[in-house]
């Protein structure tokens, strides 16, 4: 795992957006794995800006979202499809046929999970997967106790996640109890995983995921097994890491980050 600590949320967000932009310019038909959540809002805002001001072209890009609530129609404001539409899709030139989310309204959700896996496979797999992290340690909706080899499936949400997502849905009682999510195993097959976490409320779970033991109690810890996983944090989210100094040093010194560093100091 490579853990990058940036001085502010804005710098962390900008770095993630610039990674996406660089990959997309290098490979216009990139298969991009997308995540929802407050953490991602700034990333989508920056990608929209790059599209408008610097001509970042999504016309051949294919996207696969991590998850979707079960039983919530796409027109419902709680649905991830609706959120993605508002925060990203409608502002860039992605083609509708290249945009994929699990269908939480499918009459046979198990068949839908198999279809989703197949769609990812036939696109050639995910090149770059964006991830947030839930306070319960989840990636996608892989709640604690998720098998670290799990595939796309229906998952029941933990009380902690329901509380976390209450504001999103307009109250705890309006948070759906189940979701369709890519599995941990599905996520681990992406060629590059980039996890973004911001703010002190994520500090403890980030430290457990990054420096703690690999355990299904913290599904994000499975990313330690991934051959190419970059975790990008602001100072607050990285506040509980033992290796803080090292993580700051990496961005300042590793040649891999040269270009990004230069852009950061115009």
Residues that bind ligand GLP (CB under 6 A): 35-39, 66-67, 132-134, 140-141, 161, 165
In this complex, which beta carbon is closest to ligand GLP, that of residue 140 or of residue 183? 140
Q: C-beta of 165: minimal distance to ligand GLP in Å?
A: 6
In this complex, which beta carbon is closest to ligand GLP, that of residue 39 or of residue 146? 39
Q: C-beta of 99: minimal distance to ligand GLP in Å?
A: 17
Q: C-beta of 134: minimal distance to ligand GLP in Å?
A: 4
Q: How is the chain classified by DSSP, letter by letter? A: -EEEEESSHHHHHHHHHHHHHHHHHH-TT-EEEE--SHHHHHHHHHHHHHHHHH----TT-EEEESEEETT--TTSTTSHHHHHHHHTGGGS---GGGEE---TT-SSHHHHHHHHHHHHHHTT--SEEEE---TTS-BTTB-TT--TT--SEEEEPPHHHHHHTHHHHTSGGGS-SEEEE--HHHHHTSSEEEEEE-SGGGHHHHHHHHHS--BTTBGGGGGGG-SSEEEEEETTTTTT-TTHHHHHHHHHH-GGGHHHHHHH--
Q: C-beta of 157: minimal distance to ligand GLP in Å?
A: 8
In this complex, which beta carbon is closest to ligand GLP, that of residue 28 or of residue 73? 73
In this complex, which beta carbon is closest to ligand GLP, that of residue 240 or of residue 261? 240
Q: C-beta of 195: minimal distance to ligand GLP in Å?
A: 9
């Amino acid at each position: 795992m490579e853990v990058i600590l940036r001085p502010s949320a804005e710098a962390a967000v900008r770095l993630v957006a610039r990674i996406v932009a660089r990959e997309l310019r290098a490979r216009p038909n990139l298969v991009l794995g997308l995540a929802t959540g407050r953490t991602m809002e700034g990333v989508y805002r920056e990608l929209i800006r790059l599209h408008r001001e610097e001509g970042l072209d999504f016309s051949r890009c294919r996207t696969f979202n991590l998850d979707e609530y079960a039983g919530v129609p796409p027109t419902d404001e709680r649905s991830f499809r609706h959120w993605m539409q508002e925060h990203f899709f409608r502002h860039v030139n992605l083609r509708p046929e290249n945009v994929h989310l699990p269908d939480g309204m499918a009459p046979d959700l198990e068949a839908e999970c198999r279809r989703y896996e197949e769609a990812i496979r036939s696109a050639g797999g995910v090149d770059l997967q964006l991830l947030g992290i839930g306070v319960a340690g989840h990636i996608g909706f892989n709640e604690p106790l998720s098998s670290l080899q799990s595939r796309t499936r229906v998952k029941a949400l933990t009380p902690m996640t329901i509380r976390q997502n209450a504001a999103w849905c307009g109250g705890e009682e309006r948070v759906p109890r189940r979701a369709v999510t890519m599995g941990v195993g599905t996520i681990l097959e992406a060629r590059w995983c980039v996890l973004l976490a911001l703010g002190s409320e994520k500090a403890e779970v980030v430290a457990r995921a990054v420096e703690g033991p690999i355990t299904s109690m913290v599904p994000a810890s499975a990313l330690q097994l991934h051959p190419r996983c970059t975790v990008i944090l602001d100072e607050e989210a990285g506040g509980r890491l033992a290796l803080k100094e090292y993580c700051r040093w990496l961005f300042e010194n590793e040649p891999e980050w040269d270009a990004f560093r230069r852009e950061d100091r115009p």
